[in-house]
Chain A
Amino acid sequence: MSISSPPRPAPPPQAIRGRRRPSARLVRQATPYGFLSPTIVLLVVLMLTPIVMVIGYSVLDRVVTTNDSTFVGFDNYAEVLTDPVFFTAVRNTVFFAGVSVVAHFVLGLGFALLLNTKLLGARTKALFRMVYILPWLFTAAIIAVLWRLLLSPNGVVNYLLQTDVEWLANPDLALPAVTFINIWAGYPFFMVSLLAGLQGIPQDLYEAATVDGASWRQRLFHVTLPQLWPIIISMALLDFIWTTQQFALIWLTTGGGPIVATEVFTTFTYKLAFASFDFSVAAASAVIVLLLSMVLAFFYVRHQKAWD
């Protein structure tokens, strides 16, 4: 089976009706843009416009809150980069996103394999599929409220563990606790995508491996994972970017506290925007995050090319 290689140019259209037509070459070149046109229009109008405005805000002073803004160059950026809390936020975000993504992958893969195995009946698998997808169904506000209830010092978890640990209020435990909640809430994404991917692995690869005497572990590492690898990389990158955007979950469980134990990019930016009313600096912080993600995205695209 051939994986995508640069496509050979399509043969020119045969039966052409009508007198004048644009040259076949022009049509060929324009076709991909035609397919992309709805996407481009939507993204340019609805995404790029506000992003450009935000970039604009980041080099102005006192935007939104007043009508007289002045150009201040990179002052806002300097303010963000010299704020020690910013670096704490970066550290926390990297921990939060990194651990989440890895755990999402491990859990997602594990569950997907379980839900796909031949060892169990179709009905069993269908039932458990429903159970496994549950965490995905709820909005962040409810997940936050639910877990605050569960993790409260007088809550169910402490009752079951017969302890009185302050999961969310202890500065050392808060970030791992919040990360755990995010892992719970987010693994279905990996699981569902991997399930779809697993359907695409040709059965004869497995059969060939079995004939060669491979154990299930070897089948996993030598057939399944390599086949799924492009999907895994895509999703890991996307999940990382999305997790760094996670706001409501952290805000509603700990508010970035205790002190700054769970302060991440998003809570840091939110506080700048809506608590300190400093939209200019908040915009600068957002642009910094955007630039960092573009670096990640760039490497991702390069990596994709290598796979082609």
Chain B
Amino acid sequence: MGKGTRTRMLVVVVAAASLGLTAACGSGDADEGSEGGGDVALDFSQWWEPELPEGSFRTLMDRFEEENPGITVELLSGPYSSTKEQVVAGAATGTISDVVGLDGAWVSDFVDQGAIADLSKTMSDAGFDDTQLASQVQIDGSTYMIPVVNFVYPMFTNDDLLAEAGVTAPPTNRTEFADAAEAVTAAGGASGWILPLSLEAPNGIQNDVMSWVWASGGSMLDDEGQPDVTNDDVRSGVEFIKQLWDADVIAPGAATMKEQDKVEEFTNGRVGVMIDSLAHINLIRERNPELKFSIAAIPAEDGYTGERGMPYASWGIGIADNSENKEEAWKLVEFLMSEETNAELSTMANAFPGNTESVPEFVEGDAVFQTAFDIWQQGYPANEFTGLPVAEDLMRTFSEELQRTLTEGQPVDTTLSNVQEAWMQEF
């Protein structure tokens, strides 16, 4: 081997090695776990921080740290769409954070996996009075997730489009809704309604389909919490949607549409009515200040006078089962659920509080939010998917079958019985 080659080889190897060494050394400053002397460092993985005003969530954490010297909170934010996989993977490899942001649809599966801790026990150990919690998600009588803030899904109406079509007030029952949707579509340039049925994130089934059933006091489960989708309430809801589909009032692209697309279409004035999250009110105002819209309750079946169920999705919180700092983690949860902080968080997120006493600021002085709040108080929170096993998959199955009905003409009864069968397998 000539000297030149040896030198060149040496250079290459050294370059590669030093690159690798820098990389490895660079990783040295990523430390996890506790700092020195008795301090507890909590990891809190969630997807909320990027959705809240810049720096606001961190400010809340800083306040918590001030009130609880000796505890620090590290916020680990991840993209929402990957959150579930990451928690599953984290639980499987023991790297799950102490405190975890959760969605109600995932609770049952995480409990099966043994990923999240039993909060009922933690609460009783800490002597916590749980009457102030608006709701708790329980499996077999034990709480595993506490909804911190709730995103309610009322009906949004584009008042200008409705007026142009000759509709003066938001529809209050299904017939009025169908008429309004047809009128808007006929007036041209917009669709009456919009329905996101994407299989990637199938929460359209929860928010845009089942909501019709719940709004009329119906249920998709029986008294024991087992699936019962073949009952009359669900059937009439699905048939109503089929009716709307056949009347061609639903915006095109439904089969692969996601919630974010739905909002954008509405914001751009191409949809007359949509069912959507309150969290978007400020978004719509920001993006299209000229749009006149109002909030109303989801129409119920004609002649229904009972309490209306209102669909909601929450930012829930849980504690990892193998966390070594459960006590401190609970303190963080308690902090987020306390009346003042919860109200503040709700205001920041444009959601309704998980603490029964809290009142978010935006309610006072804002007519739209006030209406929404009133509807919320008058009805009852309805989200039967929370706490069900493989809830997201149940929604997905329902979406697939519903798409068959809408696009292939599969009879509604067949659809419902297929869904029933598929769901029963999971229970």
Tell me, in angstroms, the Cα distance from A254 to B199 when the chains sit together. 7
Q: Is A219 an interface residue (CB 8 A)?
A: no
**Contacting pair A277 B253 (CB below 8 A):** no
With A65-B113, A254-B199 as contacts: A164 and B404 at CB distance below 8 Å: no
| Across-interface contacts of B404 in A (CB, < 8 A) | 259
A66 vs B400: C-alpha distance in the bound complex, in angstroms? 29
Give the distance in Å from the alpha carbon of A277 to the alpha carbon of B261 in the complex. Answer: 28
CB distance from A75 to the nearest CB of B (A): 16
A227-262 Cβ-contact flags toward B at 8 Å (1 or 0): 000000000000000000000000111111111100
Q: Report the nearest A residue to B108, measured CB to CB.
A: A277
Interface mask (A165-180 → B, CB under 8 Å = 1, otherwise 0)? 0101111001000000
- Interface stretch, picked from A91-99, A182-190, A268-276, is A268-276
Which chain A residues in 182-215 approach chain B with CB under 8 Å?
none
7 further A-B contacts with Cβ under 8 Å, apart from A168-B253, A169-B253, A255-B198, are: A153-B252, A166-B255, A174-B256, A251-B200, A255-B200, A276-B426, A277-B109
A64: interface (CB < 8 Å): yes
* B393 interfacial by beta-carbon distance below 8 Å: yes
25 contacts between A and B (CB under 8 A): A64-B92, A65-B109, A66-B112, A148-B261, A153-B251, A153-B253, A154-B265, A166-B252, A166-B255, A168-B253, A169-B255, A169-B256, A171-B407, A174-B256, A253-B256, A254-B198, A255-B198, A255-B201, A258-B199, A259-B407, A276-B426, A277-B109, A277-B112, A277-B113, A277-B390
Task: Write out the residue numbers on chain A whose beta carbons fall within 8 Å of the beta carbon of B407.
Answer: 171, 258-259
- State which of A154, A252, A259 has its C-beta within 8 Å of the C-beta of B200: A252
Interface string of B71-94 (1 = CB under 8 A from A): 000000000000011001000100
Question: Across the interface, which residues of B come within 8 angstroms of A153, CB to CB?
Answer: 251-253
* Contacting residue for B396 out of A66, A152, A258, A275, CB 8 A: A275
Q: How far is the CA of A166 from the CA of B396 in the complex (A)?
A: 21
Q: How far is the CB of A168 from chain B (nearest CB, A)?
A: 5
B256 touches A275 (CB 8 A): no
In the bound complex, what is the Cα–Cα distance between A174 and B407 (angstroms)? 14
Contacts of A258 in B (CB 8 A): 197, 199, 255-256, 403, 407
Q: How far is the CB of A252 from chain B (nearest CB, A)?
A: 7
Q: Is B113 in contact with A257, judged by CB distance below 8 angstroms?
A: no
The SS class assigned to the B binding surface is helix
Query: Which bucket holds chain A's interface residue count?
Result: 20 to 34
Binding site for A on B (CB under 8 A): 84-85, 88, 92, 109, 112-114, 197-202, 251-257, 261, 265, 270, 390, 392-393, 396, 399-400, 403-404, 407-408, 426
The verdict on A67 contacting chain B, using a C-beta distance below 8 Å, is: yes
Compute how far the CA of A211 lies from the CA of B252 in the bound complex, rounded to whole angstroms. Answer: 60
Asked whether, in the complex, the Cβ of A276 is within 8 Å of the Cβ of B261, the reply is no
| Residue of A66, A166, A275, A276 touching B253 (CB-CB under 8 A) | A166
CB distance from B246 to the nearest CB of A (A): 16
CA separation between A255 and B112, bound complex, in Å? 26
Contact B393 A168 (CB under 8 A): no
**Distance in angstroms between the alpha carbons of A153 and B191 in the assembled complex:** 12
Q: Which residues of B contact A259 (CB under 8 A)?
A: 255, 400, 403-404, 407-408
Verify A254–B200 contact, CB threshold 8 A. yes
- Shortest CB-to-CB span from B17 to chain A, Å, is 12
Given A169, A171, A256, which contacts B252 in the complex, CB threshold below 8 Å? A169
In the assembled complex, the CB of B310 is this many whole angstroms from the nearest CB of chain A, namely: 26
Give Cα A164–Cα B189 distance, bound, in whole angstroms: 12
Q: How far is the CA of A64 from the CA of B94 in the complex (A)?
A: 11
- Bound form: Cα–Cα A65–B201 in Å: 22
Give the CA-CA distance A194 to B332 in the complex, in Å. 58
Pair A154/B403 contact, Cβ less than 8 Å: no
User: What's the nearest-Cβ distance from chain A to residue B64, in Å?
Assistant: 32
B199 touches A152 (CB 8 A): no
Name the residue in A166, A174, A276, A277 with the highest tally of chain B Cβ atoms < 10 Å from its Cβ.
A277
Contact of A164 (CB < 8 Å), options: B88, B252, B393: B252
Q: How far is the CA of A274 from the CA of B84 in the complex (A)?
A: 8
* A276 contact set on B, CB distance < 8 A: 390, 393, 426
The answer on a CB contact under 8 Å between B198 and A257 is yes
Shortest Cβ gap from A153 to chain B (Å):
4
Min C-beta distance of A272 to chain B, whole Å: 10
Chain A contacts of B399 at CB under 8 A? 257
B202 and chain A: residue at smallest CB distance = A255
User: Which residue of chain A has the shortest Cβ distance to B426 in the bound complex?
Assistant: A276
- Which residues of chain B have C-beta atoms less than 8 A from A275's C-beta? 390, 392-393, 396
Residue in chain B with minimal CB distance to A278: B390
> Would you call B199 and A255 a contact (CB within 8 A)?
yes
Contact A255 B256 (CB under 8 A): yes
Smallest CB-CB separation from B109: which chain A residue? A277
A45-75 with Cβ < 8 A to chain B: 64-67
**A252 to B407 alpha-carbon distance, docked (Å):** 22
Q: Which residue of A lies closest to B198 (CB)?
A: A255
Known: A66-B114, A166-B253. A154 touches B270 (CB 8 A): yes
| Cα-based distance from A170 to B197 in the complex (angstroms) | 12
Query: Are B392 and A257 in contact, CB atoms less than 8 angstroms apart?
Result: no
Note all chain A residues with C-beta closer than 8 A to B202: 255
Say yes or no: A66-B256 contact (C-beta < 8 A), given A255-B199, A257-B198, A276-B393. no
A276 to B106, CA, bound (A): 11
Contacts of A174 in B (CB 8 A): 255-256
